[in-house]
Amino acid sequence: MLLRHSHTSPYVRKVVALLHETGLVDRVDIESVDGWSEPERLTDENPLSMVPTLVLDDGSSLYDSPVICEYLDGLHRGPRMIPEAGARRWQVLREQALADGVLDCAILVMMEQVKRPEALRWDWWLGIKQRAILRALDQLEREAPAWRDRVDLGVIAIASALGYLDLRGGVGAWREGRPALAAWFEAFAARPSMRASAPPA
């Protein structure tokens, strides 16, 4: 299999961390690609020209990160990263959705602040997205004490989102007023899977 990859994509980081946690990393070749430049080799596999895109051995492709993670979770023999049924399954999927929503907002903030000309920036839009991130972080602060030693797709997704906030900012010092979340992230970020998937400094 081949994973189309970007070093700074938090959605890619989630997939790569899962590959390490499940022992599948040696079964997937990783190739960096710039989706913004719309290279033909990527658009042929994913018309959205986005990473991550996973090219299977039969030449077919899967996207986006939740789909890829669910597919990969069916290929290993260890503990499931996505529980197969019951309340835990829906908890993990909800956590992934919340983390991905934080990322969606953070990327839109970055685009507005970095890519759009200053004279055209829309403060109302920035405020909506930043407040959404802050509300999500407050919810994660309330939930973090219960995570303890969990390792599953829910917490991998959350850690990937927090790592992106460290990389790109967007809402300032997210750790302030959130000691439980900050302490959990410090510990989880030390896992080999998170170190191996971290973007360049």
93 band by pLDDT with thresholds 50, 70 and 90:
very high
Task: Give yes or no: residues 108 and 178 share one domain.
Answer: yes
174 band by pLDDT with thresholds 50, 70 and 90:
very high
Can you tell me whether residue 10 is helix, strand or coil? helix
Q: Which of 73, 106, 130 is the last residue of a domain?
A: 73
pLDDT at 121: 81
CA separation (Å) from 99 to 5, 113, 162, 180? Answer: 19, 21, 8, 17
**Percent of the chain predicted with pLDDT > 70:** 100
Rg (CA), the chain: 17
119 band by pLDDT with thresholds 50, 70 and 90:
confident
Region 7-12: what's the mean pLDDT? 95
Region 73-94: what's the mean pLDDT? 97
* Count of domains observed in the chain: 2
Task: Give yes or no: residues 125 and 47 share one domain.
Answer: no
Side chain identity, residue 59: G
Region 21-43: what's the mean pLDDT? 95
- Domain of 10 in residue numbering reads as 2-73
Task: Give yes or no: residues 61 and 100 share one domain.
Answer: no
Residues 152-161: tens digit of each pLDDT: 999 999 999 9
197 Rama sector, left if φ>0, alpha if ψ -120 to 50, beta otherwise: alpha
- Dihedral Cα 195, 197, 200, 201, nearest 10 deg: -40
Could you tell me if residue 197 is inside a domain?
no
CA separation (Å) from 37 to 11, 139, 155? Answer: 18, 36, 31
